[in-house]
Amino acid sequence: MLRQSTQQKLLQKLSPQQIQLMKLLQIPTANLEERIKEEIEENPALEFELENSTDQDTYELGDGLSDNDGESQEGEVELSDDGNEKVDLDDFLRREDEDSSGYDYGDDYYGGGDNERVATPARVETSFHEHLLDQLGMLDLDDRLHKIAEQIIGSLDEDGYLRRELTSIVDDLAFGQNVDTNVDEISGLLQKIQLFDPPGICAVTLQDCLVLQLKRMPDTKPVRDAIAVLDKYFNEFIKKHYDKIQRHLGLDDDDFKNVISIIIKLNPKPGGAFAVVNKAEGYIIPDFFVFNNNGVPELSLNSKNAPELRVSEGYREMIKAYDRSEKKNKQQKEAVIFIKQKLDSAKWFIDAIKQRQHTLLHTMQAILDFQKEFFITGDETELRPMILKDIAQMTFLDVSTVSRVANSKYVQTEYGTYILKYFFSEALQMESGEEVSTREVKTILNEMIGGENKRKPLSDEHLTDMLVEKGYNIARRTVAKYREQLNIPVARLRKEL
């Protein structure tokens, strides 16, 4: 039976402005300028502040925020009284109608009609696949075989491996290029491509990749032994069962060390040298700077996070011209509605940037106060247990907001540059009852492993006993978890000759 009932519920819904603010807060400093330029391109009522401007309506970052920032009473837009040229709304609308058939940017846009345009220099790079296609041209192949070879090269991943099944390549050629071939023919071309540079490309597995590189080296006994190790005892090699390999190959310690030194110099990703690195990902631009001023840490925000923006004076003058006009037709009203929407959007974006700056500083100051000893000494063991909730309570911000800041922002100190989430860690109780940061335990664990005898690495059980002796109440499985979080392999894989 269907029934209808009335219920009252409290639901929290984010407005579009709040959602956009959260997105702005998460944008790293390296991409903020690009985001602002995109907004300026979309909204002509928003512009960068001129260096010599004294406009009283300029939105200077660092001022306090209020619900009525940028708005005057009765919903009117405030206008400046400076001597800028006034824009007549009627003329503006008339020009828009006359120019609706096309755009005339004038000589200023193109740099002058009689002057020769200067080409912008562009950076030219050769990709991994282009490098292989250039070498393919040196082979004496007919058009059909050339298409098959191009398909093979196009199937290689960015590391240089052929991850696709040969039967699938056969099907791709049949359906995509109407080329009839078979696995044997593709295998023959595959062997020719494997002779291209860089050595080791077009391999199916890591084992094949390393062996291909060894076969390109001079034929010496250590190289032959290295091929034998990878060809016959690859599983034992990756598990570092060196004693078993030495025994089967009859190699003494010195000979085996030479073999290992050859293998570890091989490149497991031969195509990696051609990988394109995103500049924004390759460099870290800190959002904050912390300086130690005679034992007092001082915080400052990267100036790139505080761009000087303002509402376009021309758009505000259009509103003023409309208010002065005695004739207010429908076309003008529609234009004014559009202009006011752009002005409101510009004001909101400026306020959002100001709110972003305020939130960043407020959150980072709380972290600085909480971890003051670390920022003074740089000693990782001075880090206190701290979770997102601690900073949220100090700043009166939501935990999700603190998380957005911590996961995407960096701070530069005298001791290095850190992502903010580095300072967050859970607590571990000492035998004395005192709580310490798990970061401190990981630091000590890393030091223990770094100072161990690599011929006899410390097991997790031994590491646990050493930590317990230092007063840390910790279990072996917890030590294993911390070791994995530090990307440190087990004792057997840390063993060296």
Q: Whole-structure pTM over 0.85, yes or no?
A: no
Would you state the pLDDT for residue 366?
92
DSSP 8-state code for residue 382: G
Structure-token pair, residue 173: 């050629």
Would you state the pLDDT for residue 365?
92
Select the highest-mean-pLDDT range: 318-322, 392-396, 493-497.
Answer: 392-396
Question: What mean pLDDT do residues 93-115 have?
Answer: 42
C-alpha dihedral over 312, 317, 323, 325, to 10 degrees? -140
Q: What band does 125 get if pLDDT is binned at 50, 70 and 90?
A: low
The one-letter code for the residue type at 426 is E
What gap in Å lies between CA 230 and CA 223, rounded to an integer? 11
Smallest CA-to-CA distance from 150 within 166, 167, 134, 133 is with 133
Higher pLDDT, 240 or 110: 240
Would you state the pLDDT for residue 13?
56
What gap in Å lies between CA 237 and CA 246, rounded to an integer? 11
Place of tokens 């740099």: 111
Q: Confirm if 350 and 59 have CB atoms less than 8 A apart.
A: yes
Question: What mean pLDDT do residues 398-413 have?
Answer: 86
pLDDT in tens, 436-489: 777 778 888 888 888 888 778 888 888 888 888 888 878 888 888 888 888 888
pLDDT in tens, 354-364: 888 888 889 99
- In order of their start, the domains of the chain are 129-193 (no CATH), 207-266 (no CATH), 285-424 (no CATH), 426-497 (1.10.10.60)
Answer whether residue 327 shows pLDDT above 70: no
Higher pLDDT, 279 or 175: 175
Angle at 210 between CA 205 and CA 211, to 5 degrees: 95
Answer whether residue 95 shows pLDDT above 50: no
Residue 392: enclosing H or E segment and its boundaries? Answer: helix 388-395
Would you state the pLDDT for residue 487?
84
For 477: left if phi > 0, alpha if psi spans -120 to 50, otherwise beta; the answer is alpha
Smallest CA-to-CA distance from 471 within 428, 430, 427 is with 430
Q: Confirm if 386 and 370 have CB atoms less than 8 A apart.
A: yes
What gap in Å lies between CA 44 and CA 31, rounded to an integer? 21
Answer whether residue 120 shows pLDDT above 50: no
Q: Identify the sign of the CA torsion 488, 489, 491, 497.
A: negative
Mean pLDDT value across the chain: 75
- Euclidean distance between the first and the last CA atom of the chain, given in angstroms as a whole number: 77
pLDDT in tens, 10-62: 655 556 666 766 777 777 777 787 888 888 888 777 777 765 444 433 333 33
Per-residue CA distances from 270 to 20, 235, 266, 328, 407 (Å): 42, 21, 9, 70, 32
Answer whether residue 90 shows pLDDT above 70: no
Question: What mean pLDDT do residues 281-305 have?
Answer: 81
Would you state the pLDDT for residue 100?
41
Q: What band does 336 get if pLDDT is binned at 50, 70 and 90?
A: confident
Would you state the pLDDT for residue 58?
36
pLDDT in tens, 223-244: 888 888 888 888 888 888 888 8
How much of the chain exceeds pLDDT 70, in percent? 76
What gap in Å lies between CA 466 and CA 148, rounded to an integer? 60
Least confident range of 1-10, 194-203, 247-256, 390-399: 1-10
Least confident range of 45-54, 154-163, 284-293: 45-54
